[in-house]
Structure 1
Amino acid sequence: MHGTETIPVRRGRDGALDLLKWLALLSMVLDHLRYVGLSLDGLYVPGRLAFPWFCLAIAANLHRVKAGPATFQWRYLGWLLLFSVISEVPYRMFIEDADTLNVLPTLALGLLVARGWQQKTLFDRGLALIALLLAAVFSSSLMFGFFGVLLPLAMLLVFSRPWYFSVLPGLVCVAANQWQVLLNSGNLVAMLGLATCLIAPLAGLVLLRQVTHVSPPAMRRWAYALYPAHFLLLLLLRKVIT
């Protein structure tokens, strides 16, 4: 991969982007399998790919429609906000000791921040500033906190730059994942988790840049329902196991 290579803007469905979304979903399910009552702590490591790859998918969609209609991005935000509300109850039913909201509010705020940087209009910049302020004030209530909200923007900044700039979103991803706690624990799973956070943006970018001629099932609007649904299915699995 050459140092000046950037993400190609493909027309129509982007098979690599759909593949990235499916892999992010798989990583998320693997991560949450740790809560079904079995000894599966090692799944924490592949689970660290889920959030950065969802953020990368947001950045990729913004990159693809930069000059396109703004209605797409508002629909995107609307679906994120709608399923933020729908998913909260299944999320808390499954993660009984949850001390943050589900991940979708973080992604919605991140979308606003990244869009504000990209569009540069007063309205979009104002919404981005509001999103940043909300992220700062309610950081402890957001999954992945303030740095999680910054991650889609960090991903977007890398799209038109050489691959080695992926260290920026890698560091943001590490900051979003309670790196102090992981570092202090010192165990192998924690260290591998930190390493995965650091390389996840580059791995996702390599996939988008290099994987061609793939055509997994397209993730359309119905895919939003997979988020609350997977909590309910895993909750059922836990009841069966225990």
Structure 2
Amino acid sequence: MRRRDGALDLLKWLALLSMILDHLRYVGFSVDWLYVPGRLAFPWFCLAMAANLARGGPSAGSWRYLGWLLLFSAVSEIPYRLFIPDPTTLNVMPTLVLGLLVARCWRTPTLEARGLAAAALLLAGLFSSQLMFGFFGVLLPLATLLVFKRSPLLALLPGLVCVAANQWRVLYGAAWLGDAVAIWGLVACLIAPWLGLALLRQAGRVHPLPMRRWAYALYPVHFLVLLAVRQIAA
């Protein structure tokens, strides 16, 4: 049996915390600045997937992981739509599903795998406006995987992909006008992969609670909990 990677578990917990902080903005509090740490969540989840692929190889485990993501993509959609006001995209898990499929198939040099990767990219291109973080969000796990065991300076590549995945006109326009939250949000997107890679390399002695299969349920559940908090605070 392989030894549990505590740094990877820590990265997942920090990604979850970043996501919850980001979603606190929809509870009703005046905490727009939480948008900045919230930009770390998606790239860190993508980095966690890339780390699993890089360390475990193209195994059956990644296909089980894909199956769990598909299941909770469906389970999470109703809580997501109940909590997020007027959502314009699906919840984040379909983006992660396609991203994992592209990255996983990249590591399997067979015609069938490359065909699946091409199909996933085609779907991402056709339905980019319906996917959270769009086409570039689907590319982010692969971009992170390509630099996983290379120089930390190369983490700029997935950082740029992450900035492109956050290509909302409002965000770019606000940053152009000098809005501090928007500017720091873009900075967070750019450096998030580098910060995550640094954590994985330096926090090997940390051993938090392992994040196992039960953790998939935290995504839909956290929407319901925050929805209850909003109803109470209203």
TM-score (norm. length: structure 1): 0.93
SS at match of 1:119: coil
Aligned to 2:121: 132
Alignment RMSD: 1.2
Q: Say which of 12, 27, 35 aligns to 1:44.
A: 35
Partner Cα separation in structure 2 for residue 97 and residue 181 of structure 1 = 16
Aligned to 2:229: 237
Residue 11 of structure 1 deviates from its aligned partner by 3.8
Aligned to 2:212: 220
Residue 180 of structure 1 deviates from its aligned partner by 4.3
Query: Cα deviations across residues 4-47 of structure 1 (Å, max 9, x unaligned)?
Result: xxxxxx94210000000000000000000000011110000000
1:15 aligns with 2:6: yes
Which amino acid in 2 is paired with 1:24? A
Aligned to 2:134: 145
Residue 118 of structure 1 deviates from its aligned partner by 1.1
Which amino acid in 1 is paired with 2:9? D
Which amino acid in 1 is paired with 2:15? A
Which amino acid in 1 is paired with 2:47? L
Aligned to 1:7: none
1:80 aligns with 2:72: no
Residue 193 of structure 1 deviates from its aligned partner by 0.1
Kindly report structure 1 stretches of 4+ aligned residues shifted beyond 2 Å: none
Residue 122 of structure 1 deviates from its aligned partner by 1.4
Question: Do the aligned residues in 2 keep the contact of 1:179 with 1:194 (CA within 8 Å)?
Answer: no
Aligned to 1:156: 145
Partner Cα separation in structure 2 for residue 154 and residue 199 of structure 1 = 14
Partner Cα separation in structure 2 for residue 122 and residue 82 of structure 1 = 27
Aligned to 2:200: 208
Partner Cα separation in structure 2 for residue 211 and residue 82 of structure 1 = 31
Partner Cα separation in structure 1 for residue 214 and residue 104 of structure 2 = 23
Query: Cα deviations across residues 140-183 of structure 1 (Å, max 9, x unaligned)?
Result: 00000000000000000011211100000000000001254322
Which amino acid in 2 is paired with 1:41? D
Query: Cα deviations across residues 59-101 of structure 1 (Å, max 9, x unaligned)?
Result: 000011116xx22011000000000000000000001210100
TM-score (norm. length: structure 2): 0.96
Q: Say which of 50, 65, 84 aligns to 1:95.
A: 84
Residue 214 of structure 1 deviates from its aligned partner by 0.7
Q: Share of identical aligned residues, percent?
A: 69
Question: Do the aligned residues in 2 keep the contact of 1:106 with 1:142 (CA within 8 Å)?
Answer: yes
- Structure 2 portions without partners, runs of 5+: none
Number of equivalent positions = 231
